[in-house]
Amino acid sequence: MSDVVLKAENLSRRLEGEVPVTLVDRASFEIRLGEFVAVTGPSGSGKSSLLYLLGLLDSPTGGRLFLNGIETSSLRDDRLADVRLAEIGFVFQFHFLLPEFTALENVMLPMQRLGRLSRRAMRDRAAQLLDDLGLGGQGMKLPRQLSGGQAQRVAIARALANDPLLVLADEPTGNLDTLASDTVRTIVRDLAHQRNRAVVVVTHDQEFAASADRSIVIVDGRIQDTDAHLPHLAALAIAGA
């Protein structure tokens, strides 16, 4: 398997109407396994629109998107849904946990939809993910019984439930205090570097962005810069030269 998980080629999203609006304009880049990439830019610049394209939540109006070597633009809706469920994990600013289910049950939900594991195996995996994220004693609590930082960590565990290659996060610390933000930032970085996942995070938080391997800067729908700024990426580039 190639280490390139995600490849965008002139990817565009345009809304037609009386006054057409271009949300993403001919974006091209690659995201690799083990890489933590921040997407930054001014409010309304197209960051979230780009993330929704990468997560197969919106369809491009131009260009092509490859996920693990598969061109997604040619897939039927049902196949796209299967790919999203199996290969992509999502984390949003608000955790969106289902209030009537416990933390453990929330983490199990994607596994139940995928249907590859027995119920016992799903419970064991959900419990292990919560434990890995420092929530080993919180599995039977309802979302309202958790702090904001704990609920966001449950949401991260849920995003990892089906062991996706790609994790996408939209302002995951935007609703958290400083301590909880630091914890989530460390977890997100470790997803890439320790778990060898491709991680893409939309963020306004400059400290969060600075902790990424590189940043993709987008302004008015156009990518202005992709900046590799950590030493280990430079070392990888030299080794592969």
Exposed (0-12), middle (13-18) or buried (19+): which is 89, by Cβ within 10 Å?
buried
Domain spans in the chain, listed from the N-terminal domain onward: 4-240
**Residue 172, amino acid:** P
Contact 42, 35 (CB under 8 A): no
pLDDT score, position 229? 52
Task: Write out the two tokens for 53.
Answer: 């394209």
Short-list 111, 90, 92, 66, CA closest to 199: 90
Triad 86, 108, 167: Cα angle to 5°: 40
CA distances from 235 to 198, 228, 230, 231, 240 (A): 18, 11, 9, 6, 9
The two tokens of residue 31 are 């995201």
pLDDT at 238: 34
The Cα 210–Cα 212 span in angstroms is 5
**Nearest alpha-carbon partner for 112 in 122, 97, 103:** 122
Pairing, β 62-67 against β 70-71:
antiparallel
Tell me 68's DSSP state: T
Q: pLDDT value at position 143? A: 95
* Per-residue pLDDT reduced to its tens digit, 111-144: 999 999 999 999 999 999 999 999 998 999 999 9
Full DSSP string of 162-196: T--SEEEEESTTTTS-HHHHHHHHHHHHHHHHTT-
Q: pLDDT: is 174 or 221 the higher one?
A: 221
Per-residue pLDDT band at 2 (split at 50, 70, 90): low
Q: How does DSSP classify residue 74?
A: G
Quote the pLDDT of residue 92. 86
Q: What is the CATH class of 4-240?
A: alpha beta
